[in-house]
Amino acid sequence: MIEAIHTETQRADTSGQSVHRHMGVYVLVLTSHGDEGCIIGSDRLYIRLTDIYDLLSPRNFPVMRGRPKIIIIQACAGGKL
């Protein structure tokens, strides 16, 4: 999941420019199982939400610096699948 989000935020068009450069907002929707402060990927690995937020930070996603990023997470907060 982390790799997929990272790949998406760094995606470029055929000219090598970010596909996100003309977008006013970035929306990420994640639906899965989770635990306190984590979401579980389809590979059953736990990913900390802070790691996802870090991928969307201005440092790691500079083309969206100063633009809103909306993250919708629908995941249980318990450890049972």
9-53 confidence digits (pLDDT tens) = 999 988 999 999 999 999 999 999 988 899 998 888 999 999 999
User: Does the 2-8+25-75 domain belong in CATH 3.30.870.10?
Assistant: no
Domain residue limits, the chain: 2-8+25-75
Is residue 38 part of the annotated active site? The answer reads no
Coil, helix or strand at residue 46: strand
* Residue from 72, 4, 78 nearest 41 by CA: 4
pLDDT band for 77, please (50, 70, 90 cuts).
confident
Q: Point out the catalytic residue in the list 6, 22, 33, 38.
A: 33
Q: How far apart are CA 25 and CA 50, in angstroms?
A: 20
Q: Point out the catalytic residue in the list 6, 22, 38, 76.
A: 76
Q: What pLDDT is attached to residue 76?
A: 85
Q: What pLDDT is attached to residue 42?
A: 87
Q: What is the pTM of this model?
A: 0.83
* Residue from 32, 31, 5, 34 nearest 20 by CA: 5
Is residue 22 part of the annotated active site? The answer reads no
- The amino acid at residue 55 is L
Q: Which two tokens stand for residue 57?
A: 């930070």
